[in-house]
Amino acid sequence: MNYNFLQNKNILITGGTGSLGRELVREIIKHDPKVVRVFDVDETEQFEFHHELKGHENKIRFLLGDVRDRERLIHATEDIDIIFHTAALKHVMACEYNPFEAVKTNILGIQNVIDAAISNNVEKIIFTSSDKAVNPSNTMGATKLLAERLMTAANYYKGKRKCTFSSVRFGNVMGSRGSVIPLFRQQIKAGGPVTITDREMSRFMMSMSQAVDLVFKSAELAQGGEVFIFKMLTVNIMDLAEVLIEELTPQYGYKAEDIEVKIIGTIPGEKMYEELMTEDEATRSLEREDMFIIAPLIMEGLSKYDGAAYDATSVQSKDYVSKDVTPISKDEIRAILKEDRLI
């Protein structure tokens, strides 16, 4: 992909050593930025990533810091043109058992990012949200929803500053540390059992390359206040587990029939299916071949907003609830996993 808007820009990535953060850094340095600041609280991950990026020292700056620390973020965003905000607490159960910590990082943290961006007149700020923000049934989803609303609202009170704040919603990113694939791999390596919530559970899934593409496309299109959502494939979790068992057991000295699949039921806050947007959001959204675009709920104060600029129509399809979409086949799952080198 050719993203010329990254050229000669000063870019900050929060959560820059996470799964998505790393891929964003790797892709951005291909497009000749002026500098990429990798902002993260994990010093070990920063140390390891620093060694991976040998040869790019003139472009990369590693900044140790927490999004909970407003003053640190204000210093980190000096002279920055674009912020990709990926830092968050993302694990459903961790947030469920530690809701106050989720609030500190996912809500107060994003307010700190917004304040720092406004203080330094940052040009574009893209927040990576989750489909769990739609009709949230758990703490993590609720914090992501409020974070989206904070991002949209920032466009109303930025004053005369040039800042543009927008969000992207992800499904499950295949192979990321928060996805089910590393868990299934670990369980298969140990000889089983592979634990499944329910045979009928479905999820929207995307590859890491698609996730990076969504972030960059959204940054190019963003006018302020929108939520961008890629159209994603629907995967039955049981099918995914069976493909991984078939492909990985020979690597670990087992036969596929040796691995038990154990149905464990839903964990607190877990849904049987996922949604990309609500019915209400769909009434004010646009649809392109590759994505949905949710317009801001309040248009007052966004006088420059131009819906025609997206090359989109009003929403025509219903492909935004995973239980209403036919899941891809096991052969299609296998092909995607091989293409992304996950098996």
Q: What is the pLDDT of residues 178-199, one digit of tens each?
A: 778 999 999 999 999 999 999 9
* Confidence at residue 301, expressed as pLDDT on a 0 to 100 scale: 66
pLDDT classification of 95: cutoffs 50, 70, 90 = very high
Sequence-ordered list of residues with C-beta below 8 angstroms from that of 257, at least 6 positions apart, any chain: none
pLDDT classification of 176: cutoffs 50, 70, 90 = confident
- CB count, 10 Å around CB of 225? 25
Region 46-62 average pLDDT: 92
Region 229-233 average pLDDT: 90
Higher pLDDT, 254 or 298: 254
Q: Above 90 in pLDDT, residue 44?
A: yes
Contact 286, 307 (CB under 8 A): yes
The C-alpha angle 289, 81, 232, rounded to 5 degrees, equals 20
State what percent of residues in the chain have pLDDT above 70.
99
Q: Tell which residue, 152, 86, 161, has the closest CA to residue 117.
A: 161
Encoding tokens for residue 324? 């209403």
Mean pLDDT score of the chain, rounded to an integer?
Answer: 92
Contact 21, 52 (CB under 8 A): no
Domains of the chain, start order:
4-171+207-231+278-317 (3.40.50.720)
Per-residue pLDDT tens over the stretch 113-164: 999 999 999 999 999 999 999 999 999 999 999 999 999 999 998 988 999 9
Ranges assigned E (strand) in 149-222 = 164-170, 172-173, 194-196, 202-206
* Confidence at residue 267, expressed as pLDDT on a 0 to 100 scale: 79
Q: Among 90-94, 104-108, 148-152, which is the least confidently predicted range?
A: 90-94
Contact 180, 148 (CB under 8 A): no
Measured distance CA(16)–CA(335) in Å, rounded: 29
Region 234-239 average pLDDT: 94
In the set 9, 90, 124, 132, the catalytic residue is 132
Q: Known catalytic residue: 162? A: no
* Confidence at residue 210, expressed as pLDDT on a 0 to 100 scale: 87
pLDDT classification of 303: cutoffs 50, 70, 90 = low
Measured distance CA(203)–CA(35) in Å, rounded: 36
Sequence-ordered list of residues with C-beta below 8 angstroms from that of 302, at least 6 positions apart, any chain: 155, 156, 223, 224, 225, 296
Measured distance CA(10)–CA(25) in Å, rounded: 12
- CB count, 10 Å around CB of 51? 8
Place of tokens 């329910």: 198
Q: Tell which residue, 152, 310, 95, has the closest CA to residue 220.
A: 310
Per-residue pLDDT tens over the stretch 3-32: 889 999 999 999 999 999 999 999 999 999
Q: Above 80 in pLDDT, residue 177?
A: no
Per-residue pLDDT tens over the stretch 256-267: 999 999 999 887
* Confidence at residue 1, expressed as pLDDT on a 0 to 100 scale: 61
* Confidence at residue 34, expressed as pLDDT on a 0 to 100 scale: 97
Region 291-298 average pLDDT: 88
